[in-house]
């Protein structure tokens, strides 16, 4: 089965759509608007002005890891990250910078490694040289 090679921008779009439907089994998005309903909100458990709660978010299964890079936990803007059950909004664990300093921005990056490890960046960490950054790996089972 061959598809014609497109010659214009509109043809490119139709070609990509044809490939998606033919080879990937994808269907076009329906013209009817899709509606969503809010089930709950997740709030900063340690609110402070300008904390940037939710600036970084990562999901794995029913867990959501939320970075708050400007949180004032142990020092000015040292940052934090919070692990929640996404379906309930329940706070499971708070991750603090193990070596906090002002302006570390811990929580400036968050990611999952598999199902049990999380990586939390502190882009302003001064280990080595000023603002060189650092990444911490945590086991969510033990903190």
Domain regions of the chain by residue span: 1-35, 53-139
pLDDT digit string, tens, across residues 19-56: 666 666 666 666 667 788 888 889 999 888 888 898 89
Q: Where are the alpha helices (DSSP H) in the chain?
A: 9-24
Structure tokens at 66: 């939320």
Q: How many CB atoms lie within 10 A of CB 40?
A: 10
> Rounded to an integer, what distance in angstroms lies between the CA atom of residue 8 and that of residue 90?
51
Burial class (CB in 10 A: 0-12, 13-18, 19+), 118: buried
How far apart CA 143 and CA 107 sit, in angstroms, is: 15
Per mean pLDDT, which range of 10-14, 66-70, 102-106, 114-118 is the poorest?
A: 10-14
Check residue 83 and give its pLDDT: 94
pLDDT band at 12 (very low <50, low <70, confident <90, very high): low
The predicted model scores a pTM of 0.71
Predicted local distance difference test score (pLDDT) of residue 117: 86
User: Per residue in 55-76, pLDDT tens?
Assistant: 899 988 889 999 998 888 776 7
Q: What is the pLDDT of residue 141?
A: 79
Percent of the chain with pLDDT over 90: 22
Per the prediction, the chain carries an average pLDDT of 81
Tokens 């910078």 map to which residue? 97
Q: Detail the DSSP E strand segments found in the chain.
A: 53-60, 63-68, 80-85, 91-96, 106-113, 117-122, 134-139
Q: What is the per-residue pLDDT for 65? A: 93
pLDDT for 94 equals 92
């Amino acid at each position: 089965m061959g598809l014609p090679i497109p010659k214009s921008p509109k043809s490119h779009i139709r070609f990509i759509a044809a490939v998606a439907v033919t080879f990937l089994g994808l269907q076009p998005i329906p013209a009817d608007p899709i509606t969503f309903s809010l089930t709950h909100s997740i709030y900063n458990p340690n609110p402070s002005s300008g904390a940037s709660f939710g600036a970084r978010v990562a999901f794995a299964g029913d867990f959501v890891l939320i970075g708050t890079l400007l949180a004032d936990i142990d020092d000015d803007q040292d940052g934090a990250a919070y692990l929640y059950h996404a379906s309930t909004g329940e706070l499971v664990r708070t991750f603090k910078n193990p070596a906090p300093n002002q302006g570390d921005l811990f929580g400036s990056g968050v990611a999952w490694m598999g199902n049990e490890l999380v990586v939390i960046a502190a882009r302003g960490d001064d280990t080595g040289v000023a603002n060189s950054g650092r990444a911490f790996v945590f086991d969510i089972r033990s903190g």
